[in-house]
Amino acid sequence: MNKAKLNIGPNLFNWQPEKWRDFYFEVADVAPIDKVFLGEVICSKRAPLFYGEFDKVVDRLEKAGKQIVFSTLAEVTSNIDRRLMEKQANDKNFFIEANDIAALFFLKDKKHAIGSYVNCYNEDALEFFAKNGATNICLNPEMPKSGIEALNKVAKQLDVELEVQIFGRIGLALSARCYHARAHDRVKDTCKFICDIDEDGMDLTTLEGQKFLTINGIQTMSYTYLNLVNEISELQEIGINNFRLSPHSKGTIKASKVFRSLLDGKIDKEEASVMLDEQDLGAPYSNGFYHGIAGYEWRV
């Protein structure tokens, strides 16, 4: 069996450029990661904020032997979005991950990846993407075990690698409107990048005060952190060999070390669980979607 690959997906939050740079410097220096996904996925307005640090990050990651994939925008609703999407998808310096179906217009017949923001829930969709040039597909985090298993059988026949997110908040929905701006009595066009005050998203509560979702600009995310530490061996038995961590302001580097040790058989899932529980992420874990129950639930 090939060595399992552990990857870090694109950063979904609006961090200060220096924090963004330093996070990836740390990934390069100490994180046991095979592949790193860069690129603005959530808001086209954020992209220019990181241009000054991008080349430094790429250089540091490449020198550390990390494979870099460039992720595209996940929603196109304006001319600015369209221009950024075209620029991202046509970047010849990197392998591209499409996170919106619009990117496939520019990627037709080119080898590329499909991100988790493009729906791939059945065999027909998987075959369509493969015929269009997709060699890697990160499945939607809502996929249950049975769906992952069924799709992986077809993926192997089509020579496509499937990837599963195993840690981090789950992206659930995108909107043309910006929730973050609205919450601060601003509009999307004049938001003044207010989302940068919430490094891991803004918690959303019910009228009863119960936290249950997280807001990240135009994105709705889970409040809980997906954690498939107990399901890793089962995923490997299914045939999954690519695993993704979604980055956060804290906990990601340690999680990468824990999952790498687990994948390499140096620790068992019980020890890995204890190590992950030592982190104070400020929110509970969940694995419900994998088990076909409510996504926010935690099943041991």
Tell me: the pLDDT tens digits for 129-163?
999 999 999 999 999 999 999 999 999 999 999 99
Is 214 a member of any domain?
no
Output the domain CATH number for residue 95. Answer: 3.20.20.70
Is 178 a member of any domain?
no
Is 196 a member of any domain?
no
**What pLDDT score does 294 carry?**
95
pTM of this structure:
0.94
Residue 198: pLDDT above 70? yes
Is 269 a member of any domain?
yes
Is 16 a member of any domain?
yes
> Domain range holding 279?
5-169+225-291
**What pLDDT score does 171 carry?**
96
Rounded mean pLDDT of 209-218? Answer: 93
pLDDT mean across residues, the chain: 94
Rounded mean pLDDT of 256-260? Answer: 98
Is 299 a member of any domain?
no
Q: Would you place residue 92 in the very low, low, confident or very high pLDDT band (cuts 50, 70, 90)?
A: confident
First and final C-alpha spacing in the chain:
27
Is 189 a member of any domain?
no
**Domains in the chain: how many in total?**
1
Is 220 a member of any domain?
no
